[in-house]
Structure 1
């Protein structure tokens, strides 16, 4: 399976579609009667003045979500190949994203983090271009606006604003104007939201938007113990990837090294920002799938023992399907 996707063969798109369906078949067989879809945060509800939470039937919800994941996989694959992050063109990033986006059953339906992954991929397109850009003020302004739009959809996305500053530290010499203009880009979107609040006589409630930022980081999270079993191969692949990266780190171009550093920080930001949500949802970690995809693809591209990496991926693939059919 892995060797098939190591090559950049357009026919692999067909295999991707088949694997996408297989990774969702267990959930579709036992699909619940109702599946809720929350598109925007409560404070941005004025922007969508219609009832949409149950606008789609459960089956249609899963099908649309699968279509979005498929589109994101191809976009991310194109981005990684365009910037030559892996050293050669391949379809492994698309395969890894489709696999990670099917990891848990909450990933299989429409959700705000799934929508935000389009914005995160768009951010990466712009952030990766900061390295060679001479005047990047417009790009940083745009990324600030992207983060603001993302936080309207899913508030924990606000922490990805830190990724802009991390990118400026990693890619660019210090220029205070580039840092400030990213803030202006973010403020622009919320300025228009404040105007909408004012027009609806709700301006005093505008400051309540930021209250979750003062929440204490939780000591523990409640998660089904069987999900930890599913995470075992994921953690193992990440550890193996970091060992492989360490071996080849100084053999890579400077831009590639800096990009992997940026992706690592984005992975940490997306993983640790879950606590801003009023109710813990496993779907939050779908945001981690974008940076993790690059690490997974890197390991499987440069792993040398075929029997080992093929069995490792097969174990992950089978585990995902098994836990969909078994709810325990």
Structure 2
């Protein structure tokens, strides 16, 4: 239902994320196995929510990839669990796709300390959200993704309003219907998983489905930027033993080189898998192969056609 015009604006009880789940009313009397089964049944709704939001998720991927291709940046902004999920997704982009840390950034109300210590009071200050974007000089090339399960977080609302004023592409991710919390953004993603097993605890289904959506958004954008070949992360950062092993396996699998030959190729490419593949398939040395890749905006398939 919608709140009436005379309703208390701080009363969020009408929101889908704040309602009591009828399937978990006897939660405190359930056995451990019954709890696991209930969680499993309820978590099925996250898959349905993603499927229902497929069109706006695809639009978000396309808008984000286009912005990054033009030199823009991707910002996630949120508070509490939503903010932590944004920071997590952003922090995983450099090791997975070898992106510079400034390309995808997570902003959480309260700063780094809020990652490990609750600072929910700071989510009520809309001006702080706007200030966070000003500090990072967000502009028309950038994408700002506001994440808030209940949709009403002032910190996020303030940031999105500022992002619109700055000409940035705006994306909204919430777990409430648009009629409960309408907002003017470029892409509106609603992940409707229903009330939580523990009423209002949006780190549960809402948190799970938000993580799924962020996985899809960031990975989809990076795929469109050419950071994946087939289903291999060819821009993987080779920074430790595990990642070096992965790089060598990618080269061996895709080129049919043996491990020693792959190691030599990786060394000659400066530990860059995509460049190593370009060198191997084109017969070019590193400098010429790198120039071909650059001319194709990092798209390996396009570079190989040239």
Which structure has more strand as a fraction of its residues?
A: 2
Could you state the TM-score of these two structures normalised by the residue count of structure 1?
Answer: 0.27
Which structure has more helix as a fraction of its residues?
A: 1
Could you state the TM-score of these two structures normalised by the residue count of structure 2?
Answer: 0.29
Higher relative contact order, chain-length normalized (CA < 8 Å, sep 6+)? 1
Which has more radius of gyration?
Answer: 2
